[in-house]
Structure 1
Amino acid sequence: MINWGIRPAEARDGELLKELWRYSFHNDGEAFTDWYFRAYHRFSETLVATSPAGQVVASLQCIDMTLKNKAQSLKTAYIVGVNAFPEVRGRGAVGALMQEALKRSPYTGLLLMPFEGNFYAPLGFRYMNYHGQISVPMGDLYAYSQKAELTFKRFSLKAAPVTDLDRVYSTWQGRYYAFYVQRDSRRWQALLDDLAAEGGYGVMAYAQGQPVGYLLYSLQEKTFYIREMAYLSDQARAGLYHYVTGHRSQLGTVTWSAPLDEPVIDQPAGAKDYITYEPFMMWRFLSPASLPFFASKEPEVPLTFAYKDSHLKRISLWRWEGDRVEPIDQAEVDFSVTPETLSDLVFGHRRRLKQGCDIKDAEAFAAFGALFPSRPLAYINEYF
């Protein structure tokens, strides 16, 4: 077995990291790669795997991110850019990197968007949110569109009204979804720069001078591609659909990786075979301390349980009382859970709950599960 070295990236690794990215994500193109490493990448967020000779052969990034749930915030990180040169693939370099990223993380959980779920599932990751991928004839959107008393202002992505965008985004997410990604200036800038590189556009919808919706999009060869649409009312949603269908003389199709509760996904007017259910983001618990963030209520009586993380060789005891889950030194536990168990409970995959559980008090375990929504809805639309 190869003894891969794992260390934080340094400035001297810059050109090799770009070469690795170009090879592993060849569809991104040179313009995106140059922008990514010039404007977005941070060495402080990057881990590399090195060969016994000291050469960088694989890398990943853990980018700080904040989740919001009403008044609560949860600090986490988003693992992106997991890559390796082909000569070391399948030889444990990426596995060693991932294991080290889990060990080093100061957070209670981590996110990633997988290229393949089965690659990350053995490390304890489980899907946490889903999109509805559509590619529909433009005419199918007529059922959802109508003229509205709105003012549309198209804007340059290089000089976007970020304050208005974030106001609509935060209100929309907080109103409709269980939790969401809080976008700071860096994340907004990355989204807008990425879309601008594709020749994209943005438009704000205003009602009586107040922002009520936005659309980020690009016009591709035969399709109107929606990168993101947000709105604060049914009127604003219908008006934005009307804006989209106003392009029917130019384009015949609309493509969108949309929220599952979006009417065109939830109640399709046209053929349902235009819609694909798309697993999107995965989550990995590193400790139970963040459980109150995801819960819909507090336990009526204290719950004491063991947390067993076989991947990281950690066993710990925890007590959940009120709005806090805290480690304890010793206690008679009601049940034990694993990272997978917690994800299955929190994100609604309850048919798998018998895996890895040691249940001594069935009533306590049932009360534990009842603290979480049966299937929380979230729309996370971050790509890096």
Structure 2
Amino acid sequence: MEFRLASAEDRELVESLWAYCFEPREHPFFQWYFKKFYRPENVLLGFQNGQMACLTHLNPYTLCLRGREIKTSYIVGLATHPAARRGGVGGKLLKAALSEMKRRGHYINILMPSKAGFYQPYGYELYCHQWKETLPLDALRPLTDRSLHYGFLTSPDQWQCLAPVYEAYTRHLSGYAVRDEASWRSHMEAQLAEGNIAVCFDGDRPVGYLFYQLGEPTIVSGEFVYATAKGKKGLLNYIYNHRSQGDTFQWNEGLHDQSYRFYPDGKEGHETMPFMTGRIVDVKGALEELPYPKDVSGNLVFSVTDPLAEWNTGTWRLSVWHGEGSVEKMPPETAAAVTLPIGTLALLSFGTLAVQDLVFQEKLSGSDAGLELVEALFPQTKCYINEWY
């Protein structure tokens, strides 16, 4: 297969395959995405026998990982033409995408899977789940606070009402998208093309906001964010006031929120939703970007296997001093203290799981001293992200 980045002349090819596999052309999101967000230089095309067989979008993002901003590519819209399916095209496209991301200096990659099982053999692991809450509107009443007031946003110019709430919500979390003015405006434009944005105020201070859609019995919120518990109760009160326009409310929230434990009936409507996978594009580049605990120093020799990126497979030495790391590839005969697949290295980098959990799941093995150092260098964190494209 041959791969190349799209040009302006490829727009019809890109739009056609998106419309075939995802939203139709008349859908509001399709219209917004290709008018406002689409950039041909971020689309990788794959050709087989002179015909386009597949493509994916490599949208640039900035993530906050363990308190440090990291440039990344977010793979979306990965699509294969039906005539080319079941021929290993998807794996070839992912491999080509990794090469392109490495060229760009994006050493960590995220991807929202429709089915995680397709991507896991290629080194992608779920680093972020969310709670998915679905409750009848009448059941919200004991969870509400009526003392707050609300605003209705109609323009991206009002982005500063949302930014401080998001910053408060994501403080102390890992893996989330950093949003500046440009990304906020884009985020809000996409929502306003399909639905509504409401803000909850405690006095003059915004303490919660939600993106939501009306028109169906279930009111669905695509983003539900709050700075305080009172702010969350205020948002639920706002939705409770829509009883004449729906009968159920569905929203997502980060796993770090434990308020479901205090719901009057915790048996109904509470489930986990697999949300985002992460992957290491380049071992050296990724581990030299990450921050480390400043009170931990040492040298970790580890062995990695990668099914797609041959440049990652091998034995490496990570040297950490004063919170910074340097990475060197070692000769093949070098003894490793720890052995792991590339997907596990992503989970450690994001902070998704503790070392003992990865060992139990047989995703990580090594000497006691090696595993102890891994645990010190990659402490578990709380992960969250809510970017959909």
TM-score by length of 1: 0.88
List gaps (5 residues or longer) in structure 1.
none
> Which of 6, 14, 22 matches 1:25?
22
Alignment of 1:143 with 2:139, yes or no, is no
Q: Which residue of 2 aligns with 1:111?
A: 110
Q: How does 1:365-384 map to 2 (within 5 A)?
A: 365-374=371-380, 376-384=381-389
**Aligned ranges 1:1-384 → 2 under 5 Å:** 4-26=1-23, 29-53=26-50, 55-69=51-65, 71-105=67-101, 106-148=105-147, 150-156=148-154, 158-175=155-172, 177-198=173-194, 200-262=195-257, 265-270=260-265, 272-286=267-281, 287=283, 289-291=285-287, 297-298=293-294, 300-311=296-307, 312-314=309-311, 315-322=314-321, 323-328=323-328, 330=330, 333-345=336-348, 346-348=351-353, 350-353=356-359, 355=362, 359=366, 361-374=367-380, 376-384=381-389
Q: CA deviation at 1:299?
A: 6.1
Q: Percent identity, aligned pairs only?
A: 24
In the alignment of these two chains, the number of paired residues is: 374
Q: For the residues of structure 1 that align with 2:87 and 2:27, how far apart are their CA atoms?
A: 28
Contact 1:136 1:274 in 2 (8 A): yes
8 Å Cα contact 2:5-2:43 kept in structure 1: yes
CA RMSD, 1 decimal: 2.6
TM-superposition CA deviations, 1:86-134 (whole Å, max 9, x none) = 1101112222111111122122210000011111111100000111222
How far residue 48 of structure 1 moved from its aligned partner, in angstroms, is 0.4
1:181 Cα offset (Å) = 0.9
Cα distance in 2, alignment partners of residues 298 and 96 from structure 1: 40
Instruction: Output one character per residue of 1:191-212: Cα deviation in whole Å (capped at 9) or x when no partner.
Output: 32232222x2222223332322
Q: Give the Cα–Cα distance (whole angstroms) in 2 for the partners of residues 128 and 351 of structure 1.
A: 14
| 1:356 to partner: Cα distance | 6.7
**Displacement, 1:31?**
3.5
CA 1:172/1:82 → structure 2, altered by over 3 Å: closer, same or farther? same
Q: Name which of structure 1's ranges 36-45 and 218-227 shifts more when overlaid on structure 2.
A: 218-227
Between the aligned partners of 1:208 and 1:142, the Cα distance in structure 2 is 22
- Residue identity in the other structure for 2:107: T
SS of equivalent to 1:276: strand
Alpha-carbon distance between aligned partners in 2 of 1:138 and 1:318, rounded to the nearest angstrom: 55
Deviation readout 1:319-374 (Å, 9 max, x if unpaired) = 23131221225476433433123234431175443757563x42122221244344
Question: How far apart are the structure 1 equivalents of 2:66 and 2:145?
Answer: 31
User: Is the Cα–Cα contact under 8 Å of residues 157 and 185 in structure 2 kept in the other structure?
Assistant: no
Asked if the contact 2:290–2:325 (Cα under 8 Å) also holds between the matched residues in 1, the reply is no
Per mean C-alpha deviation after superposition, the further-off stretch among 105-114 and 269-278 is: 269-278
CA distance in 2, matches of 1:217, 1:26: 19
The DSSP-based 3-state class of the residue aligned with 1:161 is helix
Distance 2:8 2:165 in 1: 38
Change (3 A) 1:123 1:195: same
Q: What is the alpha-carbon distance in structure 2 between the residues aligned to residue 71 and residue 304 of structure 1?
A: 22
Query: Using the alignment, how far apart are the partners of 1:79 and 1:9 within structure 2?
Result: 15
For the residue of structure 1 that corresponds to 2:171, the secondary structure is: helix
For 1:343 and 1:70, the matched residues in 2 are separated by: 13
Instruction: With the length of structure 2 as denominator, give the TM-score of the two structures.
Output: 0.87
- Contact map agreement 2:287 2:327 (CA 8 A) in 1: no
259-268 vs 4-13, which deviates more?
259-268
The answer on whether the counterparts of 2:43 and 2:58 sit within 8 Å (CA) in structure 1 is yes
